[in-house]
Chains A and B, each alone.
Chain A
Amino acid sequence: MPTDPVRAIVGEDATREVYETVYRQLGLDRPMWEQFFVYLRDVASFDFGTSIRTGQPVLQDIVHVLPATIELATFAILFGAGVGIPLGVLAAVKKDRWQDQLIRIFSLMGHSMPIFWTGMIGLLIFYAALGWVGGSGRMSQFYIGLVPERTNFLLIDSALAGEWEVFRSALNHIVLPASLLGYSSSAYITRMTRSFMLDQLGQEYVTTARVKGLSRRQTVWRHAFGNIRVQLVTIVALAYGALLEGAVLIETVFAWPGFGQYLTSNLLIGDMNAVMTCVLIVGVIFIALNILSDLLYRIFDPRTR
């Protein structure tokens, strides 16, 4: 989608003079390296420019959309890892038995069903038909604007303000999209956990533990599981990163005013300041997650100390 940042501002019908003026105002007539250094200087002072679409400083937009996505992705990864890891371990322990086959089907489904489709079906069943969960958005329309914005994490803000009704509404709204997202990433986590675990169960120290008189369950959790933690941290961190940047589809289906939606809609209209900032943030998130998982390695594996 080739977009012209100048056209994005001035519109299709602008005269040549207007176009040229804006072109120069944006500094696009200057050499590439100079433009780049100007950009770096601005970024260093936290000036990310203004978004054309919203007319607000990009940073201010981000402060609103990113927490919404972090909230969603965090719940999703808690669900995904909380379901995926135990299922993966179970599948490894019961390799080739019916439990393993069942888990394989479950995770294959999670992997293959498109998330926008499960999102719509989920809304149809759990919201429209059963009424167990809230519909789209972060909370009921009724509560919007009721809670003072401090962190922009709705659950935290509402708890801080002591608005428990809003908190409950927010929780009600996040459950469905988060568990659907979590389900799709649990598919991957389950498969990886299974293969990590199978690897460990073939090791000699597992036999040692059995010889000592430990049951299979004790052997798996006390000995083998500790040895897959490092690998699990890596894949869960990567899955979390993917959720933070790529929850566009579910955000669209659930009208969740998040980062993915913000990035995508700005990309489509060529809102360059916003897009570049978003890309930068995605990079920072991945680096931060990698540093975090490196730190966790040191805790989990004595050989890296």
Chain B
Amino acid sequence: MTSDPILDVQGLSLRYPGAAEPAVRGVSFTLGRERLGIVGESGSGKSTVGRAIMKLLPDAEMSAERMRFEGVDLLRASEAQMLKLRGARMSMILQDPKYSLNPIRRCGDQVAEAYRTHVRCSKRAAHDKAVAMLAAVQIRDPERVYGLYPHEVSGGMGQRIMIAMMLLTDPDLVIADEPTSALDVTVRLQVLKILDDLVKERGIGLIMISHDLNLVRNFCDRVLIMYAGRVVETLDARDLDRATHPYTRGLLAAQPRIGGPRAPLPVLQRDPSWTMEAPA
């Protein structure tokens, strides 16, 4: 990790309006120019953490001891300040391009819009910028794809368009919220590779939210394991097998292995104390 963290979060908690229990409780981590994985099951609060950082949940009750992004105090940042940060210095790749692209606008225009929102420039310049970025995510005929509507592109292509849209402005932080869960297994690696190359090349701090342990193991430097709104364990990705927390161990044990014994997989035994204790 380099000297100054891009993102420094301490004790982040968040409760949705009307919910009895908070969705996120006391999450702390720092992020440098590295790739951080957040792993957990559905409802563990991992996506909520991503949206809380971007302050996209105005109705929720949010508190934290500290939440700083490159010297900006996110807790105090006004909506006007956030509008300047979002899409320019921090952005987010959403899960399924089928839903995350506007169905009635041309893909290229949606990419160009990301640029025009933050940079004052002519339509032509934004168009050229978008086409270049589409080429950078390895879309072969970017001029043609620019004019296509979202229903005319495949899932893998759609997700590359999404990546192009979110990296176009050279952000320092990208949150990828299950970026490959909606894709076919065959294009999953291809899309991840493109994302990974761009992230490394541009020195972006990446938060990869996923429920896929193997994916996170291969594409991240560090991993946070979340359970019921808490971080139960933080590990270097290569040390994942040496996890100590029973939840992480349970997750690892529940994975099938090619060539492994053909016995039924163990079922995760949950311990109520996991939701109480502070992160180790």
Decide yes or no whether A11 CB sits under 8 A from chain B: no
A212 lies within 8 A of chain B by Cβ: yes
Docked Cα-Cα span, A303 to B91, in Å, equals 28
Q: Taking the nearest CB of chain A, how far is it from the CB of B35, in angstroms?
A: 19
Q: Which of B84, B102, B105 has the most CB of A within 10 A?
A: B102
Known pairs A211-B166, A212-B87; A204 contacts B117 (CB<8 A):
no
Which residues of A sit under 8 angstroms from B151, Cβ to Cβ? Answer: 302-303
Q: Name the residue of chain B whose CB is nearest to the CB of A301.
A: B104
* A213-B94 in contact given A205-B101, A208-B101, A303-B103 (Cβ < 8 Å): no
A interface, over-half SS: helix
Residue among B83, B101, B104 with most chain A CB within 10 A: B104
Interfacial chain B residues near A210, Cβ < 8 Å: 56, 86
Is B149 within 8 A of A207, CB to CB?
no
Query: For residues 280 through 302 of chain A, which have their beta carbon under 8 Å from a beta carbon of chain B?
Result: 300-302
Complex contact B88–A208 (CB within 8 A): no
Interface status of A215 (Cβ within 8 A of chain B): yes
Contact B104 A226 (CB under 8 A): yes
Contact indicator B87/A223 (Cβ below 8 Å) = no
Measured between beta carbons, the chain A residues less than 8 angstroms from B102 are 205, 208-209, 223, 226-227
Checking B79, B83, B100, B118 against A208 with a beta-carbon cut-off of 8 angstroms, the contacting residue is B100
> In whole Å, how far is B170's beta carbon from the nearest beta carbon of chain A?
13
B9 within 8 A of A: no
Let me know if A211 and B92 touch, CB within 8 A: yes
Chain B residues lying within 8 Å of A211, measured Cβ to Cβ, are 54, 56, 86-87, 91-92, 94, 166
13 chain-A/chain-B pairs, Cβ below 8 angstroms: A204-B99, A207-B94, A208-B162, A211-B87, A211-B94, A212-B114, A213-B88, A213-B114, A214-B87, A215-B79, A223-B102, A227-B102, A300-B104
> Which A residues form the contact surface with B (CB < 8 A)?
203-205, 207-215, 223, 226-227, 300-303
